[in-house]
């Protein structure tokens, strides 16, 4: 079930919200929210809800076992991680692995065809963070299986994050309080995220997907460049909008999730970009992979190796394909270049640093978007051969509505947000509650009208 669907907005959310308010006590609300979350997941994945339940049970008992047998804690931790990664590996990478082996060895077999359970990458990482931090002694074991199951399956962050660490939420599972102000703030955040997704992401996605569906050899270089920028906007507004909705929903039910995006396209280096983009994933890899590998404590060469390992797995986490691996290593390469001294050059000229960063990120999204490395390189080739005549021009492929939305999207990536900080009158106006309510009402009405008219409504991160 998509957050940006009328079924969720008009039926599921009101029923769950008012139901939780009627129950009031957290121990009853947690049971209710767990049931609602399982129904939410079963709406799109009725079979795989049992897989998630099995994963919850195994990790629950692994936690209890680890807590009672600290002498064998490391063995229990390793076995549990193998279990979790085994599930993730089988469902997410078995099809890709079998295809590679069959093609490489020219075997007369068909590759495995295993459907990907929605959100498995996200809830698996959450489960692993719980068991790893429990082993590290950061909190006591969770003996209430309802609370642990709710932490793992809570519907706002279940299928696309943000990846919530247990230590950031364990106190809220039992001790959170409901306030009208927090619910209103959560509703406002949800509506703004809905607007990002429905009004901006869906609009630019329609033109972007139409262009990428054609043979790149028939497109002019400007069309391909615009398509790459449209996708750059689409993935940001799609994913950050979903994160905003998840954070807002969390507040509506009394939970505080950490931020997941901080205007990443305003970055002036690739390193800064990854501190602003998908913050929860970057934090997870830093805490549970980069630092345990040695981080930057074992010399420069080892640091660069650790970085490439992290970026390789970051790419592979996003999808089972060579394009994702290349995309991860591509970002790792530029991160190392900056560490080798290029960051000092960037600091001397902020405008040039921003252009460089946006160019690198935008070009990288081509490999993220296009299936097949060969296809991606063919598109990049067209982008850098502008003199050749093609069949389709910008005017034929890009609608006026899409262009206007894209311009507004570019301004909304952090440029407009700078104005209130520098102009007191604007800051006072936008902080006025009446202005905020009117703005949210307008965004909500436009979003509902677009959804009611069966607008184009894809969601990128479902496949991760």
Q: Which string of b and e fits 70-82 if b means at least 16 CB within 10 Å?
A: eeebeebbeebbe
- At residue 40, the pLDDT reads 93
Per-residue pLDDT of the chain (464 residues; tens, 9 = 90+): 788 889 999 999 999 999 999 997 888 999 999 999 999 999 877 888 999 999 999 999 999 999 999 889 999 999 999 999 999 999 999 988 888 888 888 788 888 888 888 889 999 999 999 999 999 999 999 999 999 999 999 999 988 879 999 999 998 998 888 888 999 999 999 999 999 999 999 999 999 998 888 887 778 888 899 999 999 999 999 999 999 999 999 999 999 999 999 999 999 999 999 999 999 999 999 999 999 999 888 889 999 999 999 999 999 999 889 999 999 999 999 999 999 999 999 999 999 999 999 999 999 999 999 999 999 999 999 889 876 656 666 667 788 889 999 999 999 999 888 888 888 888 888 888 888 899 999 999 999 999 988 767 776 666 66
- At residue 110, the pLDDT reads 82
For residues 36 and 167, membership in a common domain is answered with yes
- Supply φ then ψ for residue 392, to 5 degrees: -110, 135
For residues 305 and 427, membership in a common domain is answered with no
Task: For residue 303, give every residue at least 6 positions away whose Cβ sits within 8 Å of its Cβ, in sequence order, or none.
Answer: 294, 295, 296, 339
Last residue of a domain, one of 358, 385, 412: 385
**Which listed residue (106, 278, 318, 331) is catalytic?**
318
For residues 127 and 165, membership in a common domain is answered with yes
Runs of H (alpha helix) within 24-163: 26-44, 49-68, 73-105, 120-135, 145-153, 155-158
Establish if 393 belongs to a structural domain.
Answer: no
How far is 51 from 120, CA to CA, in rounded Å?
10
For residues 10 and 87, membership in a common domain is answered with yes
For residues 25 and 169, membership in a common domain is answered with yes
For residues 195 and 166, membership in a common domain is answered with no
- At residue 230, the pLDDT reads 96
Establish if 109 belongs to a structural domain.
Answer: yes
Max Cα separation, the chain?
71
- Supply φ then ψ for residue 219, to 5 degrees: -105, 145
Establish if 334 belongs to a structural domain.
Answer: yes
Last residue of a domain, one of 385, 413, 433: 385
Half-sphere exposure of 158 (CA within 13 A, CB side): 28
Runs of H (alpha helix) within 253-297: 270-276, 279-285, 291-293
For residues 406 and 451, membership in a common domain is answered with yes
Q: Are 29 and 20 in contact (CB under 8 A)?
A: yes
Task: For residue 166, give every residue at least 6 positions away whose Cβ sits within 8 Å of its Cβ, in sequence order, or none.
Answer: 126, 129, 130, 133, 134, 139, 142, 151
For residues 280 and 381, membership in a common domain is answered with yes
For residues 256 and 281, membership in a common domain is answered with no
Establish if 226 belongs to a structural domain.
Answer: no
Q: Which of 264, 199, 193, 270 is nearest to 232 (CA)?
A: 264
- Alpha-carbon torsion (171, 173, 179, 183), positive or negative: positive
Tell me what percent of the chain is helix, strand and coil, each rounded to the nearest 5.
75, 0, 25
Establish if 391 belongs to a structural domain.
Answer: no
For residues 96 and 76, membership in a common domain is answered with yes
Last residue of a domain, one of 385, 416, 448: 385
Q: Which string of b and e fits 167-197 if b means at least 16 CB within 10 Å?
A: eebbebbeebeeeeebbbebbbbbbbbbbbb
Q: What one-character-per-residue DSSP string does 182-224 give?
A: HHHHHHHHHHHHHHIIIIIIHHHHHHHHHHHTS-GGGB-HHHH
Domain range for 95: 6-175
Establish if 225 belongs to a structural domain.
Answer: no
Helix (H, G, I), strand (E, B) or coil at 16: helix
How far is 304 from 14, CA to CA, in rounded Å?
49
What are 317's two structure tokens? 């986490």
Establish if 362 belongs to a structural domain.
Answer: yes
Q: Are 252 and 187 in contact (CB under 8 A)?
A: yes
- At residue 390, the pLDDT reads 63
Residue 162, sorted as left (phi over 0), alpha (psi -120 to 50) or beta, turns out to be: beta
318 carries an active-site annotation: yes
For residues 317 and 452, membership in a common domain is answered with no
Establish if 183 belongs to a structural domain.
Answer: yes
- At residue 463, the pLDDT reads 60
Q: Which residues, in sequence order, are bridge partners of residue 219?
A: 392
For residues 350 and 407, membership in a common domain is answered with no
What are 316's two structure tokens? 């592979």
Q: How many independent structural domains does the chain possess?
A: 3
List own/partner pairs for 310-314 with CB under 8 A and 24 or more apart.
310/285, 310/286, 311/335, 313/285, 313/289, 314/281, 314/285
């Amino acid at each position: 079930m998509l957050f940006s669907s009328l079924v969720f907005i008009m039926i599921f959310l009101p029923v769950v919200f008012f139901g939780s308010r009627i129950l009031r006590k957290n121990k009853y609300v947690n049971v209710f929210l767990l049931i609602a979350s399982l129904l939410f997941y079963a709406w799109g994945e009725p079979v795989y809800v049992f897989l998630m339940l099995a994963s919850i049970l195994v990790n629950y008992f692994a936690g209890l076992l680890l807590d009672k047998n600290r002498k064998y804690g490391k063995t229990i931790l390793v076995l549990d991680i193998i279990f979790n990664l085994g599930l993730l590996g089988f469902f997410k990478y078995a099809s890709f692995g079998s295809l590679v082996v069959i093609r490489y060895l020219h075997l007369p077999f068909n590759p495995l065809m295993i459907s990907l359970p929605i959100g498995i990458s996200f809830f698996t990482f959450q489960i692993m963070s719980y068991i790893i931090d429990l082993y590290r002694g950061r909190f006591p074991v969770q003996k209430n299986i309802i609370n642990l199951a709710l932490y793992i399956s809570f519907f706002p962050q279940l299928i696309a994050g943000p990846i919530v660490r247990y230590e950031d939420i364990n106190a809220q599972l039992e001790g959170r309080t409901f306030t009208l102000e927090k619910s209103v703030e959560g509703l406002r955040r949800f509506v703004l995220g809905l607007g990002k997704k429905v009004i901006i992401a869906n609009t630019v996605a329609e033109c972007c997907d139409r262009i990428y569906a054609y043979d790149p050899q028939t497109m002019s270089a400007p069309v391909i460049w615009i398509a790459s920028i449209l996708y750059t906007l689409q993935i940001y507004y799609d994913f950050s909008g979903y994160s905003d909705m998840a954070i807002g929903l969390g507040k509506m039910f009394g939970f505080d999730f950490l931020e997941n995006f901080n205007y990443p396209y305003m970055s002036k280096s690739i390193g800064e970009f990854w501190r602003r983009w998908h913050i929860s994933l970057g934090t997870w890899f830093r805490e549970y992979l980069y630092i345990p590998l040695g981080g930057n404590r074992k010399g420069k060469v080892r640091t660069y190796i650790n970085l490439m390992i992290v970026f390789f797995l970051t790419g592979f986490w996003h999808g089972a394909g060579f394009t994702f691996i290349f995309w991860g290593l591509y970002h790792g390469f530029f991160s190392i270049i900056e560490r080798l001294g290029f960051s000092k050059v960037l600091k001397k000229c902020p405008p040039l640093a921003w252009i460089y960063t946006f160019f690198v990120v935008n070009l990288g999204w081509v490999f993220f978007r296009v299936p097949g490395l060969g296809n991606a390189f063919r598109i990049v080739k067209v982008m850098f051969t502008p003199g050749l005549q093609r069949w389709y021009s910008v005017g034929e492929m890009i609608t006026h509505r899409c262009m206007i939305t894209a311009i507004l999207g570019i301004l909304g990536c952090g440029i407009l947000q700078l104005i209130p900080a520098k102009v007191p009158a604007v800051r006072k106006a936008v902080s006025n509650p009446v202005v905020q309510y009117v703005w949210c009402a307008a965004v909500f009405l436009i979003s509902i009208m677009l959804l009611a008219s069966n607008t184009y409504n894809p969601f990128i991160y479902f496949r991760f």
